[in-house]
Structure 1
C-alpha cells in the first residue's frame, strides 16, 4: 500500500437552491424531449448496492475489458445518460463494456457521498468481472472521481485497476490554478466563478486538499496507467498538466493530449466539436494498448 487514506463520515447536506433546482429540472425536461444527448440503443439499467447504473455493451462479441465511467457536472449536476453516446462509441471501437453510475450530487449530498457511490460501483464491478481488465474514467468532476478511485484503490491495494481515462479531470478543489484566470475568455463553460461555487457546494467546509476530494494532493504511487485529455484553452488545463506531471514524477505511465481550441470535455460531449475526434482516437489507442 502506498498510503493510508481515511474517508470521512458522510454529512447532512443542504437543500438545493432554487436556481440549481431549476437548472436540474430544465435539463431533465430537455432530456425527456430528446434535446440532450442520450443513448442511441437500449442500455441495461440496474441498481448495485443502492447505486443506479447504466451498462453499455459492445454490439458484438464478448467484452475484452470493462470501464467504469463517471459523468461530469461539477458534482451538482448531470446524470449517467449524459455520457452514453460516448460510451457506445468507445464500447464498439474497443470491444469493452462501459458501466455508468448515478452517484449522489451536492449540495444535498456533500463530499464524500459521490465518491462513496462510485467506490461501491467499482467494487461491485470488479467482483462481477473477476480478473478481466478494468479501467476507470470520467469527464470534469467525473474525471476527478475517477482519479480519486485510482488513488484509493492504490492505497487499499484492491481492486486492481488497469488504466484511467481522464477527460479534463477536476483534481484540485482549491481553484488556485493559473489557468482559471489565463483562460477566462476562452472557457465559458466552466469559468472560475462556477468552479468556486461548485467546490463550495460539494465540499461544504471540508478540507479542500483531502486526497480523495483533490487527487492532485495525493500520493500517486500505484496509480494505474493514465490517459489525460484537455483543451489548452480550458480553465482545467493546469489540473491536467499538473496531474500528468506528478504521475510521471511518481513513475506512473501517463499520456497527455492537450488540444488547441477544444472546448471543455469535447470528446465526451460530441464528436463534431473541434479536437473531439482526435482526442477520441487517442483514447482508443490508449485503451487498445492496455488490452493487448
Structure 2
C-alpha cells in the first residue's frame, strides 16, 4: 500500500520516520542485533561460513504441533516437512521456501509466518529444506524443488498451489515457476514473496539510500553469499537473480504479489522487478508498507503485518475441500 503524509511527502521513499509506532519500535530493537554489522563487508561471512558445521533447522514450535499434523519425508534425500491444520483446512497448498541469504537455515520467525498463514488461509504448507551455500548452490536446489512440487501435485491441483517465501526464499518462490516450466510441469496458481532478494549483485544505484535506513541488512556480506549460491556461474542468471530475467520469462509468471517495506535494501530491486514484469505483461503487484523493515511479517502482531496477512487471505481465498 502506497501512501503520502499530510504534507504530501512520499512515504514509499527510504525513511526511518514512517510506519506505525509498533513498527518503528520493532525496527529500533532490531537495530541492536549484530546482523547489519556482520554483513557490512565480507570479513565476517568469510570467517564464519566456509568449513562450518552445517546448521540445524529451528524446531517446530509445540503450539504449531498441537494444532496441526506434521508429515516428514525425504525427497531427493532431503528432509521435507508438510504442516496441515487440524481444523479449518482448505484446498490451498503453500510451498514455503525460507530466507537466510542462502547461507542460513530456517529459523524460528519462519515458523511464526507459517503458523499465521495456516491460521488465516487453512492451507497445508510444505517446507522444502534445501541445501545451503557455501556447501551447495542453486544448481542442486532447483532439481530438489522440482521434485517437491511434483510430490505436492499428487494431492493438490496446480491452481490451488501458491509458492511463497521470504528474502532469498522469496526469490526462490519466483524462480521456481521457471524451473517447473522447464521440467514440463503446470504452473502454480500464485506467487507471494515477502521482501524478496531479487538481484544478488546489489548493483542497483538506488540501494544505498535504502541501506542507510535498513536496521537489519548491509550489502557486502549478502553479495558474497549470493556469489557462493551462484557457485561460479553468472550471478545475474534468472534462477539466482530473478530481477535480471529476460522478458519472455517474466511474461509467463503466474499472479504474483510482493510485500515490501521501505526500510529494506531489497526494496530497490523489488521496484525494478515489478516494473519489468508488468511491462512484459505479467500480473505482478508490489504492496509497499512505509517504514517496514526486512520481512516484517515475521512479526505477525504488527499492524502492518496484520494487513499483509489479511490481504494474503483475500488473494488466496478459502477454497473449500470437496
Please state which band the TM-score falls in when normalised by the shorter chain.
Answer: 0.7 to 0.9
Matched, 1:264 2:294: yes
Equivalent position of 2:220 in the other structure: 193
Q: CA deviation at 1:143?
A: 0.5
Gaps of 5+ in 1: 1-15
- Give SS of 1:57's match: strand
Q: CA deviation at 1:128?
A: 3.5
Q: CA deviation at 1:93?
A: 1.4
Distance 2:158 2:216 in 1: 39
Q: Which has the higher contact order (CA 8 A, sep 6+)?
A: 2
Judge conservation of contact 1:261–1:275 (CA < 8 Å) in 2. Answer: no
Equivalent position of 1:40 in the other structure: 63
Distance 1:155 1:73 in 2: 26
Gaps of 5+ in 2: 1-44
Equivalent position of 1:227 in the other structure: 257
Judge conservation of contact 2:177–2:187 (CA < 8 Å) in 1. Answer: no
Q: CA deviation at 1:140?
A: 0.4
Q: How many residues end up aligned between the 2 structures?
A: 269
Q: CA deviation at 1:64?
A: 1.7
Equivalent position of 1:49 in the other structure: 76
Q: CA deviation at 1:39?
A: 5.7
**Range that drifts further, 238-247 or 222-231:** 238-247
CA RMSD of aligned residues (A): 2.7
Alignment of 1:197-212 (within 5 A): 197-212=224-239
Moved >3 Å (runs of 4+): 21-25, 154-157
- Give SS of 1:122's match: helix
Judge conservation of contact 2:134–2:225 (CA < 8 Å) in 1. Answer: no
Judge conservation of contact 1:80–1:100 (CA < 8 Å) in 2. Answer: no
Task: Give the TM-score taking structure 1 as reference length.
Answer: 0.82
Distance 1:128 1:63 in 2: 12
Task: Give the TM-score taking structure 2 as reference length.
Answer: 0.75
Judge conservation of contact 2:158–2:188 (CA < 8 Å) in 1. Answer: no
